[in-house]
Structure 1
Amino acid sequence: MIQEGVTSETVVVEADGAILRGLDKVSGETTDIPFAVGETRAFGYLTVTLDECRYPQDDPSSNAYAFLTVSEESDDNKQWFRGWMIANAPALNPLDHPRYDVWVLRCRTEATSGSGG
């Protein structure tokens, strides 16, 4: 299956990082979180790891594909999500957590890193 806007000839490249957005469903507060590939950061009670971020080479601002692992900081360190999230289709493979939501906004590239992203 080819995603809308992505042809079979689209070249996808890896980025050095990503910008994720986190939502605390209780307070309604959103936070944009910059990540480097391989970095693990806390968001609320969650621990989020960015393993990879890919984007179309000819249009880095269009779509991002991020491989994430999301666990909860608890005694059992429950894993809530592990897989690919797609920026332009966040509902396709969402985090299913009762309090928090996390999704990918875009990959961080040299072009976007200098502008706060």
Structure 2
Amino acid sequence: MTMFGSLVRPALGAILLLLAATAAGPASAIPMNEAVLQALDKITARVSRITVPVGGTVTFGSLQITAKACDKRPPEETPESAAFLQVVEVKPGEAPASRFSGWMFASSPALSAMEHPVYDLWVLDCINADSAPSGNSE
């Protein structure tokens, strides 16, 4: 019994240390102030890179894209950017229609995709506007 106790006690200590380390969980996502999106107009085959400020709205075709949040994982974790987007379609003579509301993930665009017959939209990255590189730094 004492030999069993001497084997279990160190293993139990190691398990408790592991549980304490994981209880803190992974580092939380870092909120960014701009969502970088890519949009495709399927009719014209036009692909556009769109930057939407968090809290702001940008128009692409008949879509009004609003970014409510944009988070990025810290560099020490697996890369991931996620944006909470609201997309409303506005056509002349018609009431605005909600086309998408939810989180889109850069690593898995099909996980939460906007379904639309004319447009595709996906997240590329989340950035902070003030830390974006400027044009010339001479």
TM-score grouping bracket, smaller chain normalisation = 0.7 to 0.9
Query: Counterparts in 2 of 1:39-78, with a 5 A limit?
Result: 39-58=56-75, 62-74=79-91, 75-78=94-97
After superposition, the Cα gap between the structure-2 partners of 1:26 and 1:92, relative to the gap in structure 1 and judged at 3 Å, is: same
Q: Residue deviations 1:61-98, cap 9 Å, x none?
A: 92211000001012220100000000000000000010
1:21 pairs with one of 35, 38, 44: 38
- In the alignment, the residues of structure 1 paired with residue 134 and residue 96 of structure 2 have an alpha-carbon distance, to the nearest angstrom, of 35
**TM-score (norm: length of structure 1):** 0.84
Count of equivalent residues: 109
**1:5-16 pair list within 5 angstroms:** 8-16=25-33
TM-score, normalization: structure 2? 0.72
Post-superposition offset of 1:20:
0.5
Report if aligned partners of 2:34, 2:129 keep a CA contact under 8 Å in 1.
no
Give 2:102's match in structure 1, choosing from 83, 87, 90.
83
| Unaligned residue ranges in structure 2 (runs of 5+) | 1-24
Query: Cα RMSD (Å) of the superposition?
Result: 2.2
- The structure where helix makes up a greater share of residues is 2
Gaps of 5+ in 1: 1-7
Could you say which structure has the higher strand fraction?
A: 1
Q: Would the aligned equivalents of 1:48 and 1:69 in 2 still touch at CA under 8 Å?
A: yes
Alpha-carbon distance in structure 2 between the residues aligned to 1:33 and 1:70: 13
Q: Between the two proteins, what is the percent identity of the paired residues?
A: 34
Choose 31-40 or 8-17, whichever is displaced more.
8-17
Contact 2:43–2:118 (Cα < 8 Å) also in 1: yes
